[in-house]
């Protein structure tokens, strides 16, 4: 069943939404922007731009370069990056729980038998 997902917008721009949140998680898991981009089937350029935007929109960077071994450094989440991600997931969970009954009603209006169209 379709779950509601949350975007947090500042003005009309998405400060943190599903895509950026997944990107932060993937950077934490893979230890690099390159690895995260590959894991998400996203271009390195797009991943880098999303990281740059997040690093600019928050009070301090969410992603930082890490000192590397032989292969050079990677990237990881800062404490603020982990906090922003945790809080975002919490907002999603709280909102989804609160709206669960309404979502079930809404779901009944959607076709069940095929994928949404583009």
What is the contact surface with its own copies in residues (CB under 8 A)? 2-16, 18, 52-53, 56-59, 80, 83-84, 87-88, 90-91, 94-99, 102-103, 105-106, 108-111, 115-118
When the beta carbons of 67 and 105 are compared against its own copies, the nearer one is 105
Q: Which is nearer to its own copies, 44 or 60 (CB)?
A: 60
Q: Based on the number of CB atoms within 10 Å of its own CB, is 25 exposed (0-12), middle (13-18) or buried (19 or more)?
A: middle
Which C-beta is closer to its own copies: that of 52 or that of 68? 52
Cβ of residue 64: shortest distance to its own copies, in angstroms?
16
Closest approach, Cβ 63 to its own copies, in A, equals 14
Toward its own copies, which CB reaches closer, 15 or 39?
A: 15
State in angstroms the smallest separation of the CB of 71 from its own copies: 30
Supply the minimum distance, in Å, between the C-beta of residue 5 and its own copies: 5
Cα torsion angle, 95, 101, 102, 107, sign: positive
Cα–Cα distance, 31 to 92 (Å, whole number): 25
Helix axes 79-98, 100-107, angle to 10 degrees: 60
Where on the phi/psi map is residue 72: left (φ > 0), alpha (ψ -120 to 50), or beta?
Answer: left
């Amino acid at each position: 069943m379709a779950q509601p997902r949350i975007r947090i917008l500042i003005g009309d721009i998405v400060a943190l939404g599903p895509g950026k949140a997944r990107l932060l998680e993937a950077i934490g898991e893979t230890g690099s922007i390159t690895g995260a981009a590959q894991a998400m089937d996203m271009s390195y350029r797009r991943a880098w731009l999303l990281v740059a935007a997040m690093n600019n929109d928050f009070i301090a960077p969410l992603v930082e370069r890490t000192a590397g071994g032989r292969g050079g450094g990677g990237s990881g989440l800062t404490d603020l990056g982990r906090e922003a991600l945790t809080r975002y997931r919490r907002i999603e969970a709280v909102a989804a729980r609160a709206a669960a009954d309404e979502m079930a009603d809404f779901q009944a209006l959607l076709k069940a038998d095929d994928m949404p169209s583009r």
